[in-house]
Amino acid sequence: MKKLVFLVALFAAVPAFAIEKDKVSHFAGATLLGLTADTIIYHTREWEQPQRMVVSGGLALIPGFALEVIDEFNGTHFSWYDLLADGLGAATGVVAGELINGKLWISASPRRVSLTGHW
């Protein structure tokens, strides 16, 4: 419960308009890439969950990293914050992919919410 209160307070302290549009686009793009990569790997490979999630997340980060390298050479400079937004988005997309594809479930009780699955 303390963690939930902390997260709610954190989101209340940082209003949505304070986040740069660039970071939102990095997060959204990486989320879509993570979801797509996880879904494709889920249906084409016989990999177990941890391996599938790591590979999917890594694949989803490649375009964001490439954009940051290109930015460095174009004069707008490499941004670690953009890469962080890419990483958070990729992780979100991969977890969403696992939930959608049926290998990961959210288990809830009055005291605890956890992710469970086959691995």
Q: Is the Cβ–Cβ distance between 115 and 47 less than 8 Å?
A: no
The residue type of 16 is A
Domain with 24, as residue range(s), is 19-117
- Answer yes or no: is 82 within a domain: yes
Q: Who wins on pLDDT, 19 or 95?
A: 95
Count of domains in the chain? 1
- Answer yes or no: is 9 within a domain: no
Other beta carbons within 10 angstroms of residue 87's beta carbon come to 19
- Answer yes or no: is 3 within a domain: no
pLDDT band, residue 72 (cuts 50/70/90): confident
- Answer yes or no: is 2 within a domain: no
Q: Is the Cβ–Cβ distance between 70 and 7 less than 8 Å?
A: no
What is the value of pTM for the model shown? Answer: 0.72
Strand partners, 117: 104
Could you read off the pLDDT of 29-54 as tens digits, one per residue?
999 999 999 999 988 988 887 899 99
pLDDT above 80: residue 13: no
